[in-house]
Structure 1
Amino acid sequence: MAKEKEKITELSKIIKEHSSYLYAAFAISIFSAALPLAPIAYMRVLFGPVLFSDSVLNLAWVTLVLVGALILGGLLEWVRQQIFFSCSVSISNKLDKRVFNSVFKETSDNWIEGSKVLSDLRTLRLFFTSPPMGALFDVPLCFVFLILIFVIHPYMGLMSLLGAVLALIFGLMTEKKVTPHIEDMQSNMNASRYELNSSFKNSQTAVSMGIIPNIFRRWELKNNKYLISQANASGVQALGASGMKFALSLQGSMILGVGATLMILDIINLRDAGNIIIAKFIGALAVRPLMMIVMQWQFVVSAREAYRNIEKFLEKHPEKKESMSMPEPVGKITVDKFEFKPKPDMPNILENINFQVNPGQLLTVLGHSGAGKTTLAKALVGFIEPSKGAIRLDGVSVFGWKKSELGKHLGYLPQDIELFDGTFSENITRFDKVNQEYLDRAIKLANLNQFVESLPEGVNTNLNPDILRIPGGIKQKIGIARAIYGDPKLIVLDEPTSNMDQESEKQFIESIKEIKENSTLIIITHNREILLVSDLVLTIENGTQKIFNTIKEIVTEMRAKKNAALQKKTLDLQKQTFLKSKKENES
């Protein structure tokens, strides 16, 4: 039975595409690793033919050759590093955009996973230009050096091989012992950072309510675990490095001792005594790459884990095919039997949602907290995909649109508003080329003119949170300005008045009339004042649609119900009066 072929992952395929870089680096390694033999050859020639020739000219030529060899060795090492660097840049160009897009599109609800894989990408890129990477390419040449020692004499070759095996044993023991500590260190470091980041986001609450000592104890506990695991990893690594140094020293001494013994026993001629020294130096060269790897084993383990994490991430989040280009949308949004559940084994958050909104109309979505309104908003802008049913823009699923093309025709204000690291205008224009007419209109409709005038550099002021303290209401207005910039065909605003005062709320409701002239507008809110300018109303209760109708029809229906209730009350009153009168007549 044929063996099942090993699955080729996306990352391994990318690495394979860059094999030409690695082959070139290995070819150069053959020469760059051999050139350190030049000083050994120089010593052998110097204390042999050169001295016996009694010629300064010969000495000068041999020295010149040595200097040339050393310069060539340094040059080849530089070229190899450039190849590694070019390889890492090329791999990054393949991976960066792919990973970056997947992080923001598919792990936005789990930023720890996203930030970790971005950090892993950086770790892998740095490893390509690190000393251990070069040492890994030098390891195969260790066997060549060992063969050279065997050529000098088999017994000295055995001693050198024994030293290499001892170094390898120390390396394997170090790898086995240090890896769990490094994994614990990385895990504890991430936990400590997450705790600190989470606490900083709530710094105002922590300071005002005196929670800082309790938060510090929680962070200190996690940080101490990180420091302990770091100390354990460093201790084991230092022990491995000491073992490697011991193996290197023992190897050199044993080669000299065996060589001396062979001379005493007249197995090696006295005139070949220089070969013993040469064998010692070659033995040191044979063990040097292994020693380099073990001394920086923490870097090797980190790179290996980063590779595995990136590999798993890419497998978990496969690249999606680019959607086809579409003509500019008109803005008609249709929701047909829409259902959504986060996972297959979980209940629906929303089910059987059906409505249609045409350009120039405002749909107001009402419902209590937790009813599913925000989930609907995310689905309308294509952030989450329906479990069942469809959401169509101009008859095409919002997921069928090319995001890079649809983005400029879509405006979205989430509940939790964060500003980008950039200027005021960049935050509104979405880092695109500024259209002054659109920018001025967005500022005016979001009622931000007064705020812009207060900024030191106007619209070019950098909204750095460390320098500017921007109130929640202003952030919300900037978010609204960003959503309506460029007159998008579809605008979805989630709780746009939640942080506004009464005056700002009143001005925003007035702006809605102008905003919806060029757009299909959907507002999710608890604010019933917005119903005054609405065309359609959708109410959601416990994830289920209860009402979808025009304001006019709802008002007509309410009036009809009110009139029917009034008529019923009048008839009941007349009936009671009649029965009372009849009873009095009978008596």
Structure 2
Amino acid sequence: MSETTPLKVVMRAVRRQLWWLLGLSLLCNLLLLTSSVYMLQIFDRVLSSGSYGTLLWLSGIAAAALLTFGLIELSRRQMLSGIGGWIERELSGEVMRRAMRQRLRDGRAAADTSDVTDLRSFLSGDALLAFLDAPWTPVFLAVIWAMHPLLGAIAVAGALILFALAVLNDLLTRQRLARVNGAMRRNRTDAAVYMEHAETLAALGMMGGTVARWSDAQRGLDARSDGARALSTTFLAASRSLRMIIQILMLGTGAYLVLQAELTAGGMIAGSIILSRALAPVERAIGAWRSYGSYREATARLSELFRQCPDRKDRLELDRPKGRIDVNGLRYHAPETGEPILKGLSFHLAAGSTLAIIGPSGSGKSSLCKCLVGAWPASFGAVRIDGADVAEWDSDDLGRHIGYLPQTVRLFSGSIAENIARLGPPETHLVLEASRRAGAHDLILSLPEGYETETGPYSDTLSGGQKQRIAMARALYGDPSVIALDEPDSNLDGNGELALAAMIRDLKERGKTVIFVSHAPALLRFADMVAVLKEGGLARFGPRDEILSSMMKPAPVKPRRVAEARV
């Protein structure tokens, strides 16, 4: 039995609403016969009898029917709009949460919130209305058949030909459009990254080359999609031309039947109007097929995301950890390539200890930090805090007890206070306490709007050092038990380094477990333990003085062999 996911629950609810929409569509399509019936009665009754009363009553009834049609059509569209908004509200957060989890675990996500937007666009737009109206085409065809079997045969043949064109259009364009759409999504993502890092591109003189590179890729994608789009457009144009030809054939046949006294003039006109109503949904469905293709692909990607990232079972919330860390056989492999980055690390860190991680560039220091705080799941082995595996701990629960300063600092859209409060409702005393302990309080007050200064990818004007000190305050928010700092002094000036040293000293005195990556002697003196990484492995681990003294010893000189020369 397949697992019930939020996506399945939402789509099941949508399908229940579709039954109501189908009922409303039936009423709408029946009321669309109003103009045809009105025309038939005018030609066959009013003009032949000259009755003004009949004309008045028929006109009133037709107006009331069309007014009812307008109200029902409004209800249909409002229902679709409400369904689209509800889908986005119900799924966007779930999709974002799972996409982030899969991105951390696998290096990429099967779907994202743009797929939810594709679902909303199809389910709340005209494309779905075309498909909802199409099933009632047989009703119109039956009415035409009742007027005369020959007219009915022409109408049925025309509908079948248009339907065959729709199916052929899907078979010939579906795969090509799916591949091109996926590549275009990636290209749009690249464009967003380029715009976000415009300062770097401008400073390095890369803007022209970057834009040219992106434009070349976009032109290549456009060229690949031109054939499929041209084919789809050809089918659409052919269907419209064919519909007009069938309508002319219907009029001509109707005129012949009138001359044969097998049909009235009103029936001829009414049959032509009903035929246009019968074929319009089929023609609209051909135009909406591309939107349906995007909906189908988005549904498949979302289903895969929910399959690969199922709901986590509710877990008992654990007590606040003291900060003991046990690393057992930790291995981490790059998600995309499978290349090992951390290789079988094992060590123990007592609660309240301070660990310095050192090693050459590319040795895995930042990767180890991310695994220790649960940001990256271990490929093999385990990282435990107070005996609990961080991979099995709910990330939101664990995050309240963890402070983390990444190597590349990013402040998110919002105020400084909101960023320090980790984008939750800022609790004033906790924000101020974290800022003061990080030595950032006076720095923040010196800004024009203080704690209300807006930050984000495009709105902030803070320096790298200012961002780093605010991010330190964010790491200390809520008084966490374990604090990991990755290169915390990389952007700091003299005052910032003094504030950092005071912060680490304060954390040690309050019994917090502190882990930092740094080569600065001023920080290493605060370390109780030192871990030396080399090529992803643990080269040394032990008390600071012991490790540093062993590293400072000169390597033993191997005796050189002197070859005896024969004279």
Instruction: Compute the TM-score of the two structures, normalised by the length of structure 1.
Output: 0.85
Return the alpha-carbon distance in structure 2 between the equivalents of residues 302 and 27 of structure 1. 26
Q: Please point out which of 137, 140, 144 is paired with 1:149.
A: 144
Q: Please point out which of 483, 497, 505 is paired with 2:475.
A: 483
Tell me the secondary structure at the aligned position of residue 166 of structure 1: helix
Q: 2:96 touches 2:112 (CA, 8 Å); kept in 1?
A: no
Relative distance call for 1:345 and 1:449 in structure 2 (3 A) is closer
Q: Please point out which of 163, 184, 187 is paired with 1:192.
A: 187
Q: 1:21 touches 1:84 (CA, 8 Å); kept in 2?
A: no
> How far off its partner does 1:304 sit?
2.2
Moved more, 26-35 or 363-372: 363-372
> How far off its partner does 1:128 sit?
0.5
Q: Please point out which of 60, 64, 69 is paired with 2:60.
A: 64
The answer to whether the aligner puts 1:529 opposite 2:525 as a matched pair is no
Return the alpha-carbon distance in structure 1 between the equivalents of residues 47 and 260 of structure 2. 28
Q: Match of 2:63, as an amino acid? A: V
Q: 1:174 touches 1:237 (CA, 8 Å); kept in 2?
A: yes
The answer to whether the aligner puts 1:264 opposite 2:273 as a matched pair is no
The answer to whether the aligner puts 1:436 opposite 2:428 as a matched pair is yes
Q: 1:324 touches 1:401 (CA, 8 Å); kept in 2?
A: no
> How far off its partner does 1:533 sit?
1.4
Return the alpha-carbon distance in structure 2 between the equivalents of residues 222 and 110 of structure 1. 26
> How far off its partner does 1:408 sit?
1.8
Return the alpha-carbon distance in structure 2 between the equivalents of residues 98 and 196 of structure 1. 26
The answer to whether the aligner puts 1:330 opposite 2:346 as a matched pair is no
The answer to whether the aligner puts 1:373 opposite 2:365 as a matched pair is yes
Q: 1:324 touches 1:402 (CA, 8 Å); kept in 2?
A: no
> How far off its partner does 1:181 sit?
5.5
- 1:493-533: CA deviations, max 9, x gaps? 11111222344223311221112315221112232321211
> How far off its partner does 1:25 sit?
1.0
Partner of 2:564: none
Moved more, 493-502 or 128-137: 493-502
Matched ranges for 1:547-562 at <5 A: 547-551=540-544
Relative distance call for 1:165 and 1:332 in structure 2 (3 A) is same
Q: Please point out which of 22, 27, 43 is paired with 1:26.
A: 22
Tell me the secondary structure at the aligned position of residue 112 of structure 2: helix
Partner of 1:245: 240
- 1:373-432: CA deviations, max 9, x gaps? 222211111122223332222222123323222222211111121110111111111122
Q: Please point out which of 527, 539, 543 is paired with 1:546.
A: 539
The answer to whether the aligner puts 1:163 opposite 2:158 as a matched pair is yes
Tell me the secondary structure at the aligned position of residue 280 of structure 1: helix
Partner of 2:274: 282
Relative distance call for 1:9 and 1:537 in structure 2 (3 A) is closer
Q: Match of 1:143, as an amino acid? A: P
Partner of 1:138: 133
The answer to whether the aligner puts 1:514 opposite 2:506 as a matched pair is yes
Q: 1:192 touches 1:219 (CA, 8 Å); kept in 2?
A: yes
The answer to whether the aligner puts 1:216 opposite 2:211 as a matched pair is yes
Q: Match of 1:329, as an amino acid? A: P
- 1:448-491: CA deviations, max 9, x gaps? 24432332211101114434332222221121111011211111
Return the alpha-carbon distance in structure 2 between the equivalents of residues 59 and 345 of structure 1. 78
Q: 1:188 touches 1:223 (CA, 8 Å); kept in 2?
A: no
Q: Which has the greater radius of gyration? A: 1
Partner of 2:76: 80
Moved more, 421-430 or 206-215: 206-215
Return the alpha-carbon distance in structure 2 between the equivalents of residues 382 and 7 of structure 1. 27
Relative distance call for 1:432 and 1:316 in structure 2 (3 A) is closer
Return the alpha-carbon distance in structure 2 between the equivalents of residues 101 and 121 of structure 1. 13
> How far off its partner does 1:262 sit?
2.7
Return the alpha-carbon distance in structure 1 between the equivalents of residues 546 and 134 of structure 2. 81
Q: Match of 1:220, as an amino acid? A: S
Q: Match of 2:540, as an amino acid? A: I
> How far off its partner does 1:12 sit?
5.3
Structure 1 unaligned segments of length 5 or more: list them. Answer: 566-587
Relative distance call for 1:280 and 1:112 in structure 2 (3 A) is farther
The answer to whether the aligner puts 1:304 opposite 2:302 as a matched pair is no
Q: 1:293 touches 1:300 (CA, 8 Å); kept in 2?
A: no
Q: 2:438 touches 2:500 (CA, 8 Å); kept in 1?
A: yes
Return the alpha-carbon distance in structure 1 between the equivalents of residues 398 and 335 of structure 2. 27
Return the alpha-carbon distance in structure 2 between the equivalents of residues 350 and 88 of structure 1. 45
Q: 2:254 touches 2:268 (CA, 8 Å); kept in 1?
A: yes
Return the alpha-carbon distance in structure 2 between the equivalents of residues 474 and 137 of structure 1. 57
Moved more, 14-23 or 34-43: 14-23
Return the alpha-carbon distance in structure 1 between the equivalents of residues 238 and 87 of structure 2. 36
Return the alpha-carbon distance in structure 2 between the equivalents of residues 170 and 87 of structure 1. 30
CA root-mean-square deviation: 3.0
Relative distance call for 1:346 and 1:445 in structure 2 (3 A) is same
> How far off its partner does 1:183 sit?
3.5
Q: Please point out which of 88, 91, 106 is paired with 1:92.
A: 88
Number of equivalent positions: 553
Relative distance call for 1:153 and 1:7 in structure 2 (3 A) is farther
Moved more, 479-488 or 105-114: 105-114
Tell me the secondary structure at the aligned position of residue 356 of structure 2: strand
Partner of 2:41: 45
Relative distance call for 1:499 and 1:373 in structure 2 (3 A) is same
Partner of 1:207: 202
Relative distance call for 1:368 and 1:322 in structure 2 (3 A) is farther
Instruction: Compute the TM-score of the two structures, normalised by the length of structure 2.
Output: 0.88
Return the alpha-carbon distance in structure 1 between the equivalents of residues 225 and 346 of structure 2. 56
Partner of 2:389: 397
